[in-house]
Chains A and B, each alone.
Chain A
């Protein structure tokens, strides 16, 4: 006669039928998708807004350098004083005025050029203007050195180094970032799940304690079974919730994009161009070739292995942390007393995420990344961040993966044992807020 399934079922149903759980489950995707749509919509709005900049060019060194682009256009003022130009810039509602004074040489023009605007100007606009003037300065200097504008144009080109691993695999810039983001997403998912559902486990234990049902239950089931049933039941509820989120989020996003007529590619474009870090002079062939390379690289990420290890690390990590949460719930009488115990639990999770983002991404096989992917309280997150670089050569050495999992399993057994002891003593202990010293004493109580 096994009571564990009964307990799991009750915990699952109790969680799933909870009103706030239902609301959260169905409201979150709507909120999330709404937010994404809003951001996409605002980005489009932002793109559509053209900025007009007035140009008062008295110098004669500039002629057609100020040419309209996607986001900005230029209006030339002629035969007006600076004051008049300023006034009409304001009255026309232009974004700003660039003033290039009449000076004997370009050097001085540049030095005394001014940009006037109503508020502090945006950095992109300034960048653009500065680039134009810098380019002009460079051109002028080269002309003085005897180069014709044509020669100059021929000189102006970009170069990207070709990257290859020692195995002869072609490599591309930015792929590390993409891999990091994929690994980071897995790690982040684990952390969120642990914090949210660990908290649920803890609150559920506290509820049993404060309602005194625990005394009734505990005479028919072993505390360990109750604890494990609670952890498993709650996690199943969590998986249900995540499942609903993923499915409904996908559907909603799809519908939303269709309704608002937003090109899905526009959402990912930013990441792609940043990843390529290539200028404007790359020809179309190179772009498609690059995209193929990216696709190839992404396919080379061991997706299947990653999913398998995601599940392994997820299960072990969740079990470790949620048994700690269960023990905390058992040790206290109400939720306000949990703070002193929760902080040390969240600390390694936060550490794992930060170490992941700062250390793993820059050097996935560096000593810090290795250490944290072996340390059991951080390994579920950090190891998953390293895995997109593959297993074995070039990626995570097999011995590290194996020992990381073995350490995690050993820790799991140890922590569950300790947590079960604290849980067993704690659930029947009322009225005092225990100190760490007291918790240590509980460990020594015989059953």
Chain B
């Protein structure tokens, strides 16, 4: 069994509103899986189904090869996007309570909390009330509480919101650490740069349907449009530009007369670049030649736009 979680044709209806329509996913073990989609696409509903907060109308969910059951709750950790803490409760007491709700014994929870509090340098907060903490501080505690029971599957919904860059980095390190220690992670976000950094797999949910999923590198390959960025050193670019416009599809060109640098973007019919390289090598000094790969953001926007067009 290589998948920690498998969803088969999950459908969820709220009155007249369809929140999820026949969504199937496979989330591989020991990976970071990005769950992407615009607001209101159905991500939160899917996450709630995985957490058994709500149940699918149709379809089934398997956790580690077995049908998802209430006893799996202790093996899942969930950091919701809308997260909070009891304001008037003390930090340590609250963390203990939440850990015990996940099935840890009091003594074990205390031991692990001490460890995590030291690791995140928040040891002296134990007796503080939550209302005395800043938003970022509260987020740290929520993170600790989420991972404390060492679940097999962690679900982070916008984990970095509310953190300053330093603490965001600290949390990112911890997430990668957890992954390296064998935890599978679902990562739901709109922030595409963190998707590029962290996710190996992604799924794109749009208007209750999954419209794209797979390995991020494979998807990027599939979304490549054979566009190359070329940098040339040349004295007189006009002849070359004319020549190239006849032979290739030149998208943009710009010349820096002082540096004698000509920048071009060219779309090739295929991934084959030897021909153009030969052509260029005979005429100019090639300073740079690189294939542009689409960013996750590009893919996100492009897929959704295509989808919207095809639906109109």
Contact = CB atoms under 8 A, between A and B. Distances in A.
Given A215-B80, A445-B14, A220 B89 contact: no
Interface residues of A, number: 28
Interface stretch (B51-59, B233-241, B255-263): B51-59
A208 B94 CA distance: 13
Interface in B87-139: 87-89, 97-98, 100-103
A213 B101 CA distance: 13
Given A212-B82, A445-B15, A219 B89 contact: no
A216 B84 contact: yes
Contacts of A430: 82
B228 interface: no
Nearest to B71: A1
A441 B242 CA distance: 68
Contacts of A216: 78-80, 83-85, 98, 142, 145
A68 B238 CA distance: 132
A214 to B, nearest CB: 8
Contacts of B82: 212, 215, 430
B98 A220 contact: yes
B85 A211 contact: yes
B83 A215 contact: yes
A211 B94 CA distance: 14
A219 B145 CA distance: 12
B101 A3 contact: yes
Contact of B53 (A14, A18, A208, A219): A219
A15 to B, nearest CB: 11
A219 B80 contact: yes
Interface string A1-45: 101001100100010001000000000000000000000000000
Contacts of B296: none
A244 to B, nearest CB: 21
Contact of A6 (B76, B84, B97): B97
Interface in A162-214: 207-208, 211-214
A430 B142 CA distance: 21
A406 B59 CA distance: 40
Contacts of B88: 14, 18
Contacts of B97: 6, 10
Contacts of A444: 15
A3 B142 CA distance: 20
Contact of A1 (B14, B51, B86, B103): B103
B73 interface: yes
Interface string B49-80: 00101110100000000000010010010111
Interface in A201-247: 207-208, 211-222
A14 B15 CA distance: 36
A213 B54 CA distance: 17
Given A216-B142, A219-B53, A6 B78 contact: no
A428 interface: yes
A215 B84 contact: yes
A447 interface: yes
A211 B73 contact: no
Contact of A428 (B13, B53, B78, B85): B53
B5 to A, nearest CB: 15
Nearest to A216: B83
Contact of A218 (B14, B53, B55, B86): B53
Interface of A: 1, 3, 6-7, 10, 14, 18, 207-208, 211-222, 428, 430, 441, 444-447
Interface of B: 13-15, 48, 51, 53-55, 57, 70, 73, 76, 78-89, 97-98, 100-103, 142, 145
Given A10-B97, A222-B70, A428-B48, 4 more contacts: A6-B101, A18-B88, A215-B84, A216-B85
Q: Nearest 6 CB-CB pairs, A to B?
A: A212-B84, A215-B80, A211-B84, A219-B78, A220-B101, A219-B51
